[in-house]
């Protein structure tokens, strides 16, 4: 059964503009889709570059969440994000 995950990442302290935030979001999408069974079904970025978000569907929630947590830690973004199963 597919579940939806919602990932919100704060980039507020990064000093990025919207285009740079979008590049980060796209890179994260690629890594998640290439390394898990998850599919990104929606995403966005604040126009000031301070936040990005993704909605993903996955059949393997635990593995996908663990991969995302590791990916964000590797990218130095592990202090300002939320990752939840949508209800």
Dihedral angle, C-alpha 20, 77, 36, 65, nearest 10 °:
-140
Chain-centroid distance, C-alpha 46 = 14
Residue in the structure block whose two tokens are 């980060």? 24
Q: Where in the chain are the domains?
A: 3-85
Nearest to 4 by CA among 38, 35, 28: 38
Class of domain 3-85: alpha beta
Query: pLDDT tens, position by position, for the chain (87 residues)?
Result: 999 999 999 999 888 999 999 999 999 999 999 999 999 999 998 889 899 999 999 999 999 999 999 999 998 888 899 999 997
């Amino acid at each position: 059964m597919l579940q939806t995950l919602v990932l919100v990442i704060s980039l507020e302290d990064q000093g990025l503009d919207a285009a740079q935030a979008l590049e980060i979001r796209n890179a994260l999408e690629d890594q998640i889709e290439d390394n898990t069974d998850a599919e990104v079904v929606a995403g966005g970025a604040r126009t000031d570059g301070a936040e990005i978000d993704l909605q993903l569907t996955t059949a393997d929630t635990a593995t996908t969440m663990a991969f995302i947590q590791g990916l964000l830690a590797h990218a130095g973004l592990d202090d300002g994000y939320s990752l939840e199963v949508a209800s």
